[in-house]
């Protein structure tokens, strides 16, 4: 086993986030900026969102005419041994009328040596066209079927360390040529900076130094050296960790996965990803309700918002979820009217789901009819996103199509105070940012164990628009690499699932 494990080290595993004050919550000494960050021009430290939202601190780029500015942090402690790739990400929200001309919204990495004193190189990536692309393709996913691109999503930039001596990077997000709407209130909001080092690019970039062989890698990644947990699930044990394997090397014990080891849990499709990494914790925000139903008075960190316990014998993962969204939400109950005056709170839940690791299609499966008259998909939870928040069918009480009235992260609470999604939750961070340039990544799982993917089938083509290998009435289709899988379909019924195409563990129906 040991020799095999060494081979597996080539698989990308992300290190710790090296950014300090990553969520901008700590103020600097002036009280007007964020501790550890520098800003220029029109950029300013701000609460990022509206009064009807649960809002956190971040930075704002106002769109007033000719505006420009940036926010950056000098990140120290870079060590090439930890990985030659630098992955810089942040969460951003372009408000509907935010505009720049000349594509001038950018992410930048400056590389330094000698404890950050000597500048050696820099790299820049323009991201405004992603904003425009989302506006074109995801508008229908929004509240009342519009503005679905004015939503938090993650932007990313991966670069090779140019020299082994680099020990610091300055990461920036900036803009120029503010777009003529001379209204300072319309902004691009930013939050949650992250810099991690990777041994291998997570986006499939190839180090030119590795030569043509690396570029000819097979489409299906090797799982050699990983312990198979069943189906498409794999685990890379830490050096100090022993899994209960039988004589044939099969996993027969139980394994608990939390944020601490989420980067060792892999799901295999055309790549090996860590679907839950970075998604298993959350902040219980002031204004939500705790488990006992009391209002939360102070933001509280929840380290185990979702955990999975893999059972090797039963070939099932037991998912325990508190169901706290790990992204911004609207304020609930809604007294502003932007969420249809939804009277419910967001409350901590204690949910247990059973996820089959080796999903089996159900030959007798029936898709739901237009208003689910046949009851093919139950009300309530039908699956969960990789942050542990549940998916519902398209309807709320009274069989109203619920997809139109949702907050800016595409969710809202039910009458039993359970926050849920009825459609593509763009705010859910997936392991890979979805730029719509290839098949989307996994964003969650249905209770039949089949994966739910983002909207794209290939570059610029959404699965809902396919003319060959069309989605069936369940919103599922088959390919050799992924097997049967669901896609979310922005603006198109049934939005997430149209029924269970696979066999569901009946324990998920216990109430
Ligand atoms: Zn609902
Ligand atoms: Zn597909």
Report pLDDT for 386: 97
d(CA 255, CA 257): 6
Which residues have a beta carbon within 5 Å of ligand 1, which is an ion?
A: 396, 402
Q: Which ligand is located closest to the Cα atom of residue 398? A: 1
Q: Which ligand is located closest to the Cα atom of residue 340? A: 1
DSSP-assigned beta bridge partners for residue 412: 420
Q: For 38-198, give the CATH class.
A: mainly beta
**CB atoms near residue 502 (< 10 Å):** 19
Query: Where do the H-state alpha helices sit in 31-162?
Result: 128-138
d(CA 389, CA 305): 9
Beta strand 254-257 pairing with 233-235: unpaired
List, in order, residues 6 or more apart from 2 with CB less than 8 Å away.
none
d(CA 109, CA 159): 8
d(CA 31, CA 34): 8
379 CA from centroid of ligand 1 (Å): 10
Beta strand 456-458 pairing with 461-462: antiparallel
271-312 pLDDT, tens per residue? 888 999 989 999 999 999 999 999 999 999 999 999 999 999
pLDDT above 60: residue 5 = no
Report pLDDT for 371: 86
457 CA from centroid of ligand 2 (Å): 5
Are 452 and 426 in contact, with CB atoms under 8 Å apart?
A: no
Confidence of residue 247 (pLDDT cuts 50, 70, 90): confident
469 CA from centroid of ligand 2 (Å): 9
Report pLDDT for 11: 47
483-496 pLDDT, tens per residue? 999 999 999 999 99
Q: Quick one: which of 34, 38, 65, 35 has its CA closest to 47?
A: 34
Confidence of residue 13 (pLDDT cuts 50, 70, 90): low
19 CA from centroid of ligand 1 (Å): 36
Are 98 and 48 in contact, with CB atoms under 8 Å apart?
A: no
Q: Which ligand is located closest to the Cα atom of residue 470? A: 2
Report pLDDT for 208: 82
Q: Quick one: which of 340, 351, 350, 336 has its CA closest to 293?
A: 350
Mean pLDDT over residues 223-238, rounded? 92
**Quick one: how far is CA 325 from the chain centroid?**
11
Confidence of residue 77 (pLDDT cuts 50, 70, 90): very high
Beta strand 316-321 pairing with 306-311: antiparallel
458 CA from centroid of ligand 2 (Å): 8
d(CA 395, CA 392): 8
489 CA from centroid of ligand 1 (Å): 17
Q: Which ligand is located closest to the Cα atom of residue 396? A: 1
Tell me the two tokens of residue 344: 């419910």
**CB atoms near residue 44 (< 10 Å):** 16
**Residue owning tokens 């006992």:** 292
341 CA from centroid of ligand 1 (Å): 13
Confidence of residue 210 (pLDDT cuts 50, 70, 90): confident
**CB atoms near residue 510 (< 10 Å):** 7
Tell me the two tokens of residue 309: 């316990």
161-189 pLDDT, tens per residue? 999 999 999 999 999 999 866 666 899 99
278 CA from centroid of ligand 1 (Å): 25
Q: Which ligand is located closest to the Cα atom of residue 456? A: 2
For 221, the 3-state DSSP assignment is coil
**In the chain, pLDDT over 70 holds for what percent of residues?**
94
Domain with CATH 2.60.120.260 in the chain: 38-198
Confidence of residue 480 (pLDDT cuts 50, 70, 90): very high
State the average pLDDT for the chain: 91
Report pLDDT for 509: 82
User: What does pTM read for this prediction?
Assistant: 0.92
Report pLDDT for 183: 61
d(CA 190, CA 192): 7
pLDDT above 90: residue 225 = no
């Amino acid at each position: 086993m040991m020799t095999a494990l060494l081979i597996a080290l080539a698989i990308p595993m992300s290190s710790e986030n090296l950014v300090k004050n990553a969520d901008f919550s700590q103020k600097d000494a002036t009280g007007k900026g964020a501790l550890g960050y520098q800003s220029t021009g029109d950029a300013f430290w701000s609460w990022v969102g509206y009064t009807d939202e649960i809002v956190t601190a971040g930075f704002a780029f106002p769109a007033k005419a000719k505006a420009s500015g940036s926010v950056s942090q000098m990140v120290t402690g870079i060590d090439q041994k930890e990985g030659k790739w630098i992955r810089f990400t942040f969460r951003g929200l372009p408000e509907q009328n935010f505009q720049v001309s000349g594509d001038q919204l950018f992410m930048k990495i400056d590389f330094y040596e000698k404890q950050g004193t000597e500048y050696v190189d820099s790299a820049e990536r323009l991201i405004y066209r992603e904003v425009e692309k989302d506006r074109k393709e995801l508008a229908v996913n929004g509240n009342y079927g519009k503005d679905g691109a004015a939503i938090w999503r993650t932007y990313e930039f991966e670069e090779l360390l140019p020299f082994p001596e680099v020990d610091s990077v300055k990461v920036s997000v900036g803009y120029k040529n503010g777009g003529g709407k001379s209204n300072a209130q319309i902004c691009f909001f930013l939050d949650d900076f992250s810099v991690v080092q990777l041994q291998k690019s997570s986006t499939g970039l190839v180090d030119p130094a590795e030569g043509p062989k690396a570029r000819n890698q097979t489409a299906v990644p090797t799982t050699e050296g990983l312990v198979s947990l069943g189906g498409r699930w794999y685990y890379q044990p830490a050096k100090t960790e022993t899994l209960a394997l039988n004589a044939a090397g099969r996993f027969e014990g139980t394994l608990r996965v939390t944020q601490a080891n989420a980067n060792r849990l892999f799901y295999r499709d055309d790549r090996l990803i860590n679907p839950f990494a970075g998604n298993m914790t959350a902040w219980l925000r002031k204004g939500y309700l705790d488990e006992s139903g009391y209002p939360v008075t102070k933001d509280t960190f929840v380290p185990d918002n979702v955990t999975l316990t893999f059972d090797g014998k039963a070939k099932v993962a037991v998912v325990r979820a508190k169901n706290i969204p790990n992204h911004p939400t609207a304020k609930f109950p809604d007294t502003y009217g932007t969420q249809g005056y939804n009277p419910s709170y967001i409350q901590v839940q204690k949910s247990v789901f059973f996820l089959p690791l080796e999903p089996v299609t159900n030959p007798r499966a029936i898709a739901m009819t237009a208003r689910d008259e046949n009851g093919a998909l139950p009300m309530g939870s039908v699956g969960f996103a990789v942050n542990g928040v549940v998916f519902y069918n398209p309807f709320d009480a009274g069989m109203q199509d619920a997809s139109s009235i949702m907050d800016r992260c595409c969710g809202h609470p039910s009458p039993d105070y359970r926050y849920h999604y009825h459609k593509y939750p763009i705010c859910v961070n997936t392991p890979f940012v979805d730029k719509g340039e290839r098949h989307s990544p996994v964003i969650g799982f249905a209770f039949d164990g089949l994966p739910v993917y983002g909207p794209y089938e290939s570059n610029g083509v959404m699965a809902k628009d396919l003319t060959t290998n069309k989605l069936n009435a369940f919103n599922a289709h088959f390919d050799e690499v992924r097997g049967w899988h669901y896609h979310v379909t922005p603006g198109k019924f049934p939005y997430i699932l149209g029924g269970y195409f696979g066999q569901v563990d009946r324990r998920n129906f216990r109430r």
